[in-house]
Amino acid sequence: MGEKGSAATLSRRDLLRMIGVTAGSAAMYQAMSSLGYAAESPYRGPVRLEGAPKGASVLILGAGIAGMVAAYELRNAGYKVQVLEYNHRPGGRNWSLYGGDTYTELGGHTQHCRFDQGLYLNPGPWRIPYHHQGILSYCQRLGVKLEPFVQVNYNAYLHDSQAFGGKPQRLRAVKADYQGHVAELLSKSIQQSKLDGAVTREDQEKLLASLRTWGALDKHYAYAKGEASSNRRGFHKDPGGGLTARPVPSEPMGLADLLTAKAWLGLAAGDNYEMQTALFQPVGGMGQIGAAFGRELKGLIRYNARVTAIEQDEHGVSVRYEDTARPGAALTTRADWCLCTIPLSILGQLPINVGPAMAAAIAAVPYNASVKTGLQFKRRFWEQDEQIYGGISYTDLPINNIGYPNSDYFSQGKGVLLGTYAGGLSALELTSLTPEQRIEQALAYGSQIHPQYRKEFDCGISVAWHRVPFTQGCAGRWTEESRAEHYDNLCAIDGRIALAGEHASYIPAWQEGAVTSALDAIGRLHQRAVAQGAKA
Amino acid sequence: MGEKGSAATLSRRDLLRMIGVTAGSAAMYQAMSSLGYAAESPYRGPVRLEGAPKGASVLILGAGIAGMVAAYELRNAGYKVQVLEYNHRPGGRNWSLYGGDTYTELGGHTQHCRFDQGLYLNPGPWRIPYHHQGILSYCQRLGVKLEPFVQVNYNAYLHDSQAFGGKPQRLRAVKADYQGHVAELLSKSIQQSKLDGAVTREDQEKLLASLRTWGALDKHYAYAKGEASSNRRGFHKDPGGGLTARPVPSEPMGLADLLTAKAWLGLAAGDNYEMQTALFQPVGGMGQIGAAFGRELKGLIRYNARVTAIEQDEHGVSVRYEDTARPGAALTTRADWCLCTIPLSILGQLPINVGPAMAAAIAAVPYNASVKTGLQFKRRFWEQDEQIYGGISYTDLPINNIGYPNSDYFSQGKGVLLGTYAGGLSALELTSLTPEQRIEQALAYGSQIHPQYRKEFDCGISVAWHRVPFTQGCAGRWTEESRAEHYDNLCAIDGRIALAGEHASYIPAWQEGAVTSALDAIGRLHQRAVAQGAKA
């Protein structure tokens, strides 16, 4: 009794660890479920690849998250690993632009980032949900510090240029009013016995009581101007201290106005599984993860290497590439196996001798458009004038989002806003503009929400993902139909070539997709290598 | 043109500042409202007390937030300031307990805090809403660093010991299911034309569309097992990458089960104005604010000074007190004016010659009960096993809350949970126990939510506010009736004595109440002093 590891004192965690070690991840997963832990990320803890065939080598194409996760684990398992990377830096779409950085997009426009020290734009991913345990675990193992990312800020704005005279509304007011009106309407239905068929009398009573609390209704089950509603939406004059202290309640918006505004569009964003609190961001920019992987894999990654052809034969895989600094001179490298993480938008343009199933899958996935623009301002007016500390405002304008920095709160220096985070059609339109025009657009639209923009603007930088040389798009766009037809063919190993990346996952555009895709692919590649090794 | 301060380039903020300086805070407030800034805290920026009568002195009783805000501003305005404080430290209820601290409660029980370096319990306030601009502003002026406080964590628990077999439910699932069922029921009402009297046809269409998005309904406006609902409540098996990637949706709870659980009780907590994101906490514990004030006011505060009598006459105020280290020896000090921030629970026991109106007000406010217990665990199992990073779980058990630390996420060391945050009857019951028994209770109840408690427990500390010598209660409890009868009498200056503190505010128990109360009181005290000075 009491001895570490004895059955009597075995903690759930010890038990899970034991099961994980002895019976593998599937058993561990089942055990977790039956012990009552919800299924979280498909990431099951550090991968265990044992018994790499002696001298076996893997060539990895792309030093993004997928490629570097694979390189890290395969190296640790004893494989000879080499990584070819197009950029002069690790990370791929895991990328932060800092002052001093230079970026040239397709079409030739070069931007010089002039942000102050410590400020940045994350052109790609910018947040990590708590249940993305794979990427979070690599942050821990690589010593990347994390801080909270704020998705929902009740004091940020919901803005509809066609409603409320174009005046942005605080999310707290819209949320309170929407919830209040919904609760009142449903309460009325209950009180008028209109729910009698659908819900038992007893549950109706309970529901009524819950709606009153949840919707901030008054004692008559009305959502009305008063203390209850102002305690949610905010007051006209806040309560204070002393003799000037009495609060003055605010006037809720009418349901009709609220619905006209489509203001509810941004309301549920923070309820989405991927955007629920807790969320995290690396201290100093998302690119810190790529940088940490790069340091860890020093010597294994060849930068400025543009892959031009991939050819497998019975014994291995040969890859032709050129040094981007000396284009034209063809170089070649070879390994027993190849893990290719090149985005399909690029890979589809390269010669690669895989079977028709994988080839069709590579051709089947178009890439989403996305534009992000970072704007540096001389002061953090959103905090100082408007008490918005972090989070996101939503608008129906083409900029879509304004993202406030989730670090250095209350600091007196400059600050960088995410001035545009556009997708879909508006991203395609913005992509057709020059970087300067995109920045100007962000300023023009953003001024409708923050009139301080013009006066306080300092400098900006813009990334349109269809103009990014190393991806030519943001992330793979799957449909139900294309998944059914091509997804498994994309992921299945073809001879000696396996594919990985967010495009080979059910979590497109998220780093966790890249991580879990890479781990899944190298697990299968390893099995095949071990089987081959045994045969050899 | 272009010159700083010229009318043409005047920013809203400049304008507000100018108005504030020339026309005073009321005009500034009106201007802010008309410029479209919502009324936030009644705090209006740094107070401006000009022309303190030469040599005028103010004696401040209590070095809590109210007393120290007053001391800071009155000193800056030129007053001779002295502060008497019962404790050996500044802060009052602004207080963090660290390893090495010793605390003796009424009844004689002494606790020695054995928390690891950097870990703490905030027995009093623990969060600061973004709109409490007064206390936030003092943090900035005093160099107190702030970090996000997490109120709502979607992966924390709602726990009803009588429902779901006592098994805690993730907030995300309860929230999604509640919203989903509410949206579905209201959608049905609309579709069956049962809302025809209350809402126009056109608005019904818009409402229906919005409910579908907001409630994660499927295309038949049903809240059902599937991708839409799982994208809110979480999946049975999360989406991942590669060939083992396909997500498996989870099963929503039925409305009847949900309502039985009263699980909705904790749902709206984060919607309350005082608990909406963004919230902050000082890095290193709430007590850092008190400590910073203490450093700033070094030399002005006499510690270990227990006030025993307050007596005013025509010319000033005399206060008798004793050194808590040498009880019995009566000391006296005197000043022209007195600002008394002693909690009414204590002040009501002291002789003080104020008029019947203020005396009645002092006697009219009982103090709320509150108990907080901090539990140090050997590891952060809530993060490692359950992916709960910050935030609060709610339970119907007497511990009421479990608060997870909002700092040092992912760290490998020990961690301190807020194991109990009880109010009302259960706080009164807990107050009757010894600290050891309160800690045992926190462990026994908390184990129902986190079975790791017993194995991982290291040490604890507990503060029951009715046993705290310097307050004998948590915070003033006003009713509508007592406010109507006594509040203005409590705040009105009586001769040369003014009262301040959270009890003299409409934001009881919040530090912002103390700040705004102190600023309001010293503003009026200053006016009276100036008037008197002119007469003299």
At B476-500, the pLDDT tens digits run 999 999 999 999 999 999 999 999 9
Determine the angle formed by the axes of helices B171-191 and A171-191, rounding to 10 degrees: 60
Each residue's pLDDT tens digit, B402-439? 999 999 999 999 999 999 999 999 999 999 999 999 99
Neighboring chain A residues of B242 at a CB cutoff of 8 Å? 491, 500, 504-505, 516-517, 519-521, 523-524
| 8-state DSSP, B352 | B
What is the C-alpha radius of gyration for chain B, rounded to an integer number of angstroms? 27
pLDDT band at A33 (very low <50, low <70, confident <90, very high): very low
Q: What does the pLDDT read at residue A416?
A: 98
Q: What does the pLDDT read at residue A536?
A: 54
B448 is a domain residue: yes
Of A138, A499, A504, the closest CA to residue B239 belongs to: A504
Residue B31 has pLDDT above 90, yes or no: no
How many Å apart are CA B321 and CA B327, to the nearest integer? Answer: 9
Instruction: Assess whether B206 and B348 both reside in one domain.
Output: no
pLDDT band at A16 (very low <50, low <70, confident <90, very high): very low
CB B98 within 8 A of CB B285: yes
pLDDT band at B461 (very low <50, low <70, confident <90, very high): very high
Q: What percent of chain B has pLDDT over 70?
A: 91
Give the mutation candidate from B212, B238, B248 for the A interface (greatest A CB count, under 10 A): B238
B18: how many CB neighbours lie within 10 A of its CB? Answer: 14
Q: Which of A127-136, A265-274, A462-471 has the lowest mean pLDDT?
A: A265-274
Of A175, A183, A277, the CB nearest to B154: A277
pLDDT band at A404 (very low <50, low <70, confident <90, very high): very high
Higher pLDDT, A170 or A11: A170
Instruction: Assess whether B306 and B455 both reside in one domain.
Output: no
Residue A17 has pLDDT above 80, yes or no: no
Of A194, A231, A268, the CB nearest to B272: A231
Give the mutation candidate from B4, B130, B208, B394 for the A interface (greatest A CB count, under 10 A): B130
Q: Give the mean model confidence (pLDDT) for residues A115-137.
A: 97
Instruction: Assess whether A136 and A172 both reside in one domain.
Output: no
Each residue's pLDDT tens digit, B91-102? 999 999 999 999
Q: What does the pLDDT read at residue B93?
A: 98
Lookup: tokens for B244: 């083992």
How many Å apart are CA B381 and CA B416, to the nearest integer? Answer: 11
DSSP letters, A77-104, are TT-EEEEE-SSSSSBTTS--EETT-EEE
Q: What does the pLDDT read at residue A442?
A: 98
Neighboring chain A residues of B39 at a CB cutoff of 8 Å? 234-238, 248
Higher pLDDT, A268 or A419: A419
Q: What does the pLDDT read at residue A7?
A: 34
**How many angstroms separate the CA of residue A151 from the nearest CA in chain B?**
9
B329 is a domain residue: yes
Q: Which of A27-41, A421-435, B104-118, B516-530 has the lowest mean pLDDT?
A: A27-41
Alpha helices in B169-286, H assignment, sequence order: 171-191, 201-215, 227-233, 255-260
Size of interface A-B (CB pairs under 8 A): 351
**Residue B482, Cβ density class (10 Å: 0-12 exposed, 13-18 middle, ≥19 buried):** middle
Instruction: Assess whether B238 and B343 both reside in one domain.
Output: no
Residue B347 has pLDDT above 60, yes or no: yes
Q: Give the mean model confidence (pLDDT) for residues B513-536.
A: 91
Rounded to 5 degrees, what are φ and ψ at A50?
A: -115, 145
Residue B37 has pLDDT above 50, yes or no: no
Lookup: tokens for A293: 């992987």
Neighboring chain A residues of B506 at a CB cutoff of 8 Å? 239-241, 245-247
Q: Which residues of A449-486 are buried (b: 16+ CB within 10 A; e: fewer)?
A: bbbbbebbbbbbbbbbbbbbebbbbbbbebeeebeeeb
Q: What does the pLDDT read at residue B324?
A: 94
Strand pairing report for A457-464 and A497-499: unpaired
Neighboring chain B residues of A42 at a CB cutoff of 8 Å? 237-241, 244-245
**How many angstroms separate the CA of residue B102 from the nearest CA in chain A?**
32
Instruction: Assess whether A31 and A63 both reside in one domain.
Output: no
Each residue's pLDDT tens digit, A92-111? 999 999 999 999 999 999 99
Q: What does the pLDDT read at residue B207?
A: 94
A304 is a domain residue: yes
Instruction: Assess whether B280 and B389 both reside in one domain.
Output: yes
Q: Indicate yes or no: CB of A13 within 8 angstroms of CB of B515.
A: no
How many Å apart are CA A8 and CA A31, to the nearest integer? Answer: 18
Q: What does the pLDDT read at residue B262?
A: 72
**Angle (CA) A414 A416 A419, round 5°:** 140
B269 is a domain residue: no
Each residue's pLDDT tens digit, B39-85? 456 677 778 888 889 999 999 999 999 999 999 999 999 999 999 99
Residue B392 has pLDDT above 50, yes or no: yes
- Three-state DSSP string of A111-180: EECCCCCCCEECCCCCCEECCCHHHHHHHHHCCCCEEEECCCCCCCEEECCCCHHHCCEEHHHHHHHHHH
How many Å apart are CA A386 and CA B276, to the nearest integer? Answer: 15
CB B397 within 8 A of CB B445: yes
What is the span of the domain harbouring residue B320? Answer: 57-91+289-365+479-535
pTM of the model: 0.91
**How many angstroms separate the CA of residue B78 from the nearest CA in chain A?**
23
A52 is a domain residue: no
Q: Give the mean model confidence (pLDDT) for residues A220-233.
A: 96
Lookup: tokens for B89: 């430290």
Of A476, A532, A466, A468, the closest CA to residue A505 belongs to: A476
**How many angstroms separate the CA of residue B190 from the nearest CA in chain A?**
10
How many Å apart are CA B456 and CA A333, to the nearest integer? Answer: 52
Neighboring chain B residues of A139 at a CB cutoff of 8 Å? 410
Of A265, A271, A455, A260, the closest CA to residue B10 belongs to: A455
Lookup: tokens for B404: 């997870």
Higher pLDDT, A51 or B204: B204
Q: What does the pLDDT read at residue A24?
A: 37
Residue B6 has pLDDT above 50, yes or no: no
pLDDT band at A13 (very low <50, low <70, confident <90, very high): very low
Instruction: Assess whether B483 and B501 both reside in one domain.
Output: yes
What is the tally of structural domains in chain A? Answer: 4
pLDDT band at B26 (very low <50, low <70, confident <90, very high): very low
Q: Give the mean model confidence (pLDDT) for residues A255-282.
A: 89
Q: Give the mean model confidence (pLDDT) for residues B107-131.
A: 97
The answer, yes or no, to whether ipTM is higher than 0.95 is no
Q: What does the pLDDT read at residue B41?
A: 60
DSSP letters, B450-479, are -TTHHHHEEEEEEEEGGG-TTTSSSSB---
Give the mutation candidate from A189, A195, A283, A456 for the B interface (greatest B CB count, under 10 A): A189
Neighboring chain A residues of B148 at a CB cutoff of 8 Å? 148, 150, 390, 406, 409
Give the mutation candidate from A133, A210, A526 for the B interface (greatest B CB count, under 10 A): A210
| 8-state DSSP, B61 | E
Q: What does the pLDDT read at residue B16?
A: 40
Q: Give the mean model confidence (pLDDT) for residues B15-44.
A: 43
Of B214, B234, B248, the CB nearest to A264: B214
A518 is a domain residue: yes
Q: What percent of chain A has pLDDT over 90?
A: 84
Instruction: Assess whether B340 and B197 both reside in one domain.
Output: no
**How many angstroms separate the CA of residue B125 from the nearest CA in chain A?**
17
Residue B289 has pLDDT above 70, yes or no: yes
pLDDT band at A18 (very low <50, low <70, confident <90, very high): very low
Higher pLDDT, B14 or A328: A328
Q: Indicate yes or no: CB of B37 within 8 angstroms of CB of A385.
A: yes
Higher pLDDT, B536 or B350: B350
| 8-state DSSP, B88 | S
Instruction: Assess whether A356 and A487 both reside in one domain.
Output: yes
**How many angstroms separate the CA of residue B387 from the nearest CA in chain A?**
7
| 8-state DSSP, A241 | B
A349: how many CB neighbours lie within 10 A of its CB? Answer: 11
Q: What does the pLDDT read at residue A194?
A: 85
B164 is a domain residue: no
Q: Indicate yes or no: CB of A264 within 8 angstroms of CB of B210.
A: yes
pLDDT band at B534 (very low <50, low <70, confident <90, very high): low
Residue A383 has pLDDT above 60, yes or no: yes
Amino acid at B96: S
**How many angstroms separate the CA of residue B132 from the nearest CA in chain A?**
10
State the CATH number of the domain containing residue B281: 3.90.660.10
Q: Which residues of A249-267 are buried (b: 16+ CB within 10 A; e: fewer)?
A: bbebbebeebbbbbbbbbb
Sign of CA dihedral A355, A360, A363, A365: negative
Lookup: tokens for B421: 């945050």
How many Å apart are CA A337 and CA A492, to the nearest integer? Answer: 14
Q: Indicate yes or no: CB of A504 within 8 angstroms of CB of B241.
A: yes
Strand pairing report for A279-282 and A415-423: unpaired
B52 is a domain residue: no
| 8-state DSSP, A237 | B
How many Å apart are CA A324 and CA A16, to the nearest integer? Answer: 48
* DSSP element (H, E) containing A498: strand A497-499
How many Å apart are CA A374 and CA A463, to the nearest integer? Answer: 9
State the CATH number of the domain containing residue B227: 1.20.1440.240
Average pLDDT, chain B: 91
Instruction: Assess whether A183 and A250 both reside in one domain.
Output: yes
Residue A341 has pLDDT above 70, yes or no: yes
Of B430, B433, B464, B420, the closest CA to residue B103 belongs to: B464
CA distances from A261 to A269, A394, B6, B210 (A): 16, 12, 37, 11
Instruction: Assess whether B341 and B415 both reside in one domain.
Output: no
Alpha helices in A199-267, H assignment, sequence order: 201-215, 227-233, 255-260
Strand pairing report for B120-121 and B97-98: antiparallel
Q: Indicate yes or no: CB of B130 within 8 angstroms of CB of A387.
A: yes
Residue A39 has pLDDT above 70, yes or no: no
| Residue in this structure with the two tokens 């309301």, named with its chain if needed | A267
Measured in whole angstroms, the distance separating CA A487 from the mean position of its chain's CA atoms is: 21
Neighboring chain B residues of A133 at a CB cutoff of 8 Å? 387
Q: Give the mean model confidence (pLDDT) for residues A127-153.
A: 97
Instruction: Assess whether A8 and A86 both reside in one domain.
Output: no
Q: Indicate yes or no: CB of B524 within 8 angstroms of CB of A38.
A: no
